[in-house]
Amino acid sequence: VDDQKSSYHHGNLPDTLLEHAVEVLHEGGVEGLSLREVARRAGVSHNAAYRHYADKKSLLASMAVWGFNTLSARIAGAVAPFSGAPRTRLFAAVRTYVNFGLEYPHLLRIMFGDLPHSDYPELRATARKAFDLLLDILAEGQQQGIIASGDLRQMALTCWATFHGLTEILVAQKIPFQDPDALENEQIVRSTLEVLLQGFSPHKGKD
Amino acid sequence: VDDQKSSYHHGNLPDTLLEHAVEVLHEGGVEGLSLREVARRAGVSHNAAYRHYADKKSLLASMAVWGFNTLSARIAGAVAPFSGAPRTRLFAAVRTYVNFGLEYPHLLRIMFGDLPHSDYPELRATARKAFDLLLDILAEGQQQGIIASGDLRQMALTCWATFHGLTEILVAQKIPFQDPDALENEQIVRSTLEVLLQGFSPHKGKD
DNA sequence: TGTACATCAGTGAACGCGCGTTCACTGATGTAC
DNA sequence: TGTACATCAGTGAACGCGCGTTCACTGATGTAC
């Protein structure tokens, strides 16, 4: 961001608005997110946004897309160093997911359902991209024999759902036991993943 | 509800408001929920609610409490016929949970986090009651030896998180594969539970 | 290099709206005697 | 059983607010010649 820039033309308003929107959302939730407030933060008149976003929902959609892209990038980054070790990769991935959710709880909610799904194909595509990262890791696990053969998509869905739900619960601080000896988030994530991996394991203990 | 009742005094406004609030929420989400609209539906002046609810947040809290109570009652009812069969009980419970979420998606979100958690002890208590139902079932499973010994609360948390997340994903229709041959919800729930139960199983296939 | 002009990106005033909440009130209810 | 009166549960008008969106506009930019 260059302060020397012309004070009339902004340079990169769309992205600047997006950044401030994410910030406003973070502070006040969806209820507190208004185009006017976002414009205010961007130091721009309250209707300048209409030059770049058709309406409020359009901005929300862009935020969700940004969210999925950021999430994907973080997961990809967290997973990269552990090539060939799907267990470690998976842990890195879900840990990243949970942390992302703890960092942007309201954004996560926008990403999942505050928007008319099918109206925004770009949203769908970026969500799909994030899901594919998970699929790849599980596929690798399957090749290495630590995950049973079977429908990978179903397993990926179960995995996603588990950590999505865990994130929401951690965010809400609605864990119904809040003892002083409560587990740290990190540990909760780890042991949840272990349950899941045992469930995915090919070594079935038939009884 | 008695139409013959005095037209001035309503009889049971608090509950009537609550019912309409749940309905309004269902139709328009949190964004669309206003005290005025709720009052309108109840056929009552727009400020009559203040006689029974201190403010809007207070009504939201009551809605969340209603949600947890309803959820608990449904789970208890679904689970009751299968005394002594924890596997079946667990399936009934999680199926009920998912269906509840599909029926009241916005309510579920209010129950989980739209509210200042600790400000509403009644909320916490009713949430806890629902969680205890799950704990009981898992405890029974542990006694019967189909669930490994270990921290029940951790397992219950994992279980809750899994199906909470699954519900959100199903609600959002954000399942990244939407093939015509996609699994039915019921089947997704069942196979997810099977993964989880294998994960909880005491018959560990150490490798 | 200089100028005319279309295009683009912003401004500021104004619109209509529904909201939460407060106020002074009024009608109905129930209790003391 | 009858009446006075406190209490309770509703009403209707009014408040101030911030919102999304539209309008006619103006300043900056870039391109054709």
Chain C bases having any atom below 7 Å from a protein CB = 9-14, 18-23, 27-29
pLDDT of residue B119: 83
Query: What's the pTM?
Result: 0.91
Nearest C-alpha of chain B: how many angstroms from A109? 9
**Which residue is it, tokens 């609030």?**
B21
Interatomic CA distance for residues A173 and B127, integer angstroms: 12
* Least CB–CB distance from B165: residue in A168, A172, A188: A168
Contact A167, A98 (CB under 8 A): yes
**Cβ within 8 Å, pair A201-B198:** yes
Which residues, other chains included, contact B27 with Cβ-Cβ below 8 Å and sequence gap of 6+?
none
A74 interfacial to chain B (CB closer than 8 Å): no
For residues A14 and A52, is the Cβ–Cβ distance under 8 A? yes
Q: What distance, in Å, lies between the first and last C-alpha atoms of chain A?
A: 63
Q: What is the mean pLDDT of residues B156-171?
A: 93
Report residue A143's pLDDT band, with 50, 70 and 90 as the boundaries: very high
CA–CA separation, A84 and A144 (whole Å): 9
Amino acid (one-letter) located at A85: A
Among A residues 139-158, those touching chain B with beta carbons less than 8 Å apart: 146, 153-155, 157-158
pLDDT at residue A7 tops 80: no
Q: Give one word for A113, left, alpha or beta, with left for phi > 0 and alpha for psi -120 to 50.
A: left
Mean pLDDT across chain B: 89
Contact (CB<8Å) A192/B109: no
Helix (H, G, I), strand (E, B) or coil at B146: coil
- What digits encode the pLDDT tens for the residues A154-194? 999 999 999 999 999 988 865 555 554 456 889 999 999 99
**pLDDT score of A1 more than 50:** no
The secondary structure element, H or E, covering residue A157 is: helix A152-172
Question: Would you call A146 helix, strand, or coil by DSSP?
Answer: coil
> Phi, psi (5° rounding) for residue A183?
-70, 150
* Distance in angstroms: CA B179, C1' C1: 63
| pLDDT value, residue A113 | 76
pLDDT tens digits, one per residue of B34-85: 999 999 999 999 999 999 999 999 999 999 999 999 999 999 999 999 999 9
Q: Is the pLDDT of residue B112 over 60?
A: yes
Per-residue burial over B122-157, b = 16 or more CB atoms within 10 Å of its CB, e = otherwise: ebbebbeebbebbbbbbbbbbeeebbbeeebbbbbb
Compute the distance between CA of residue B164 and CA of residue B171 in angstroms, rounded to an integer: 10
Nucleotide of closest approach to A34 (CA, C1'):
D19
- Distance in Å, alpha carbon of A192 to nearest chain B alpha carbon: 6
Contacts of residue A202, defined as CB under 8 A and 6 or more positions apart, other chains included, come to A145, A146, A147, A148, A149, B205
Q: Give the type of residue at B186.
A: E
Interface residue of A162, A189, A191, A192 to substitute, partner B, most B CBs within 10 Å: A162
